[in-house]
Structure formats: C-alpha cells, structure tokens
Structure 1
Amino acid sequence: MSALTKAKGFKKSKSGTYLSMATTAFGAVSVVKQIKKARLENDTLRLIDATVSAAAIVTGLAILYRELKRLGDDDVLLG
C-alpha cells in the first residue's frame, strides 16, 4: 500500500476527521483576533471578511461533524 493510499484512507477515518475538526477549529482563533482588531479599528470591510470566514468555519465544522456521525453509523460493532 502506497503512502498516498494510506493518507487518503486516514482522511476518511474517524481519527482523520477529528484532526480535520481540530485544525478547522484552530483557524477560529485567528478569526476571533481578526474580528477584535476590526472592531477596534472600526474597519467594516475587515469585519465583514472575518464574519464570512467565521461562517465558513462553522459550516466546515458542521460538515465534518456530519461525516463523523456517518462514520459512526457505519461501525459494525455498534449495530
């Protein structure tokens, strides 16, 4: 099995999904900083950009959560 095949398999695993969720959530830290800075400077355009970024993070986490639930439903030991 090649390294690329293993990497693709990891991405579809529960561990890979948890890692993706953690990485995505870590991106929220920079968005929060961006929002605080935009508010401090009264920069409406940066605030809009940060808000859109935050929405993308929330959507990404929701998709990853759905994938995690789907992976859990496929577990033969559970049902």
Structure 2
Amino acid sequence: MSALTKAKGFKKSRAGTYLSIGTTAFGALSIIKQARKARTESDTLLLLDAVVSAAAIATGLAILVRELKRVGDDDVLFG
C-alpha cells in the first residue's frame, strides 16, 4: 500500500478519529467561554446559542466515538 493511499485513508483510521475527537473537544473550550460570557452579561440569546452549540459538540463526539468502535484492528496507520 502506497503512502498516498494511507494518507487518503487517514480520516477513517483510528489515529484520524482520535485527532477528530481531540479537535472537537478543543472546540468545547470556546463554547464554555461563550456560556460564561452569556451568564455574566445575562444574555439569554447568547446562552441559548452556547447550549445548542454544546449539544452539537456532544453529538459530534458521540458519532466519533461510535466510529472509533467501528474501526477494526486491521488499521494500518495505528500500530
């Protein structure tokens, strides 16, 4: 298998899935910051936006964890 073929399959690999989980979790930090700002300013609309965004991140993480479980042990990029 060529290196180019391996690189194309990275997103569906175990390592790529871990990277996606990490970047998605990192995005949660900005949502937490947004929620704190909304609470201090008593901005209901901004708080609602933070809650909806947090739900989207939680759903995205759940999908990535499910995908991680689907990746078999035959992953050539991870170990």
TM-score, length-normalised on structure 1? Answer: 0.84
Correspondence list, 1:1-79, <5 A: 3=4, 5-71=5-71, 74-75=72-73
Give the whole-Å Cα distance in 2 for the aligned partners of 1:29 and 1:53: 11
Greater relative CO (CA pairs within 8 A, separation 6+): 2
Two-structure CA RMSD over aligned residues (Å): 1.6
Offset at 1:6? 4.4
Offset at 1:2? 7.9
Mind listing any 5+ residue stretches in structure 2 that lack a counterpart?
75-79
Q: Percent identity?
A: 70
TM-score, length-normalised on structure 2? Answer: 0.84
Q: Give CA deviations for 1:37-73 in whole Å, capped at 9, x if unaligned.
A: 00000000000000000000000000000000111xx
Q: Secondary structure at the match of 1:75?
A: coil
Offset at 1:75? 1.8
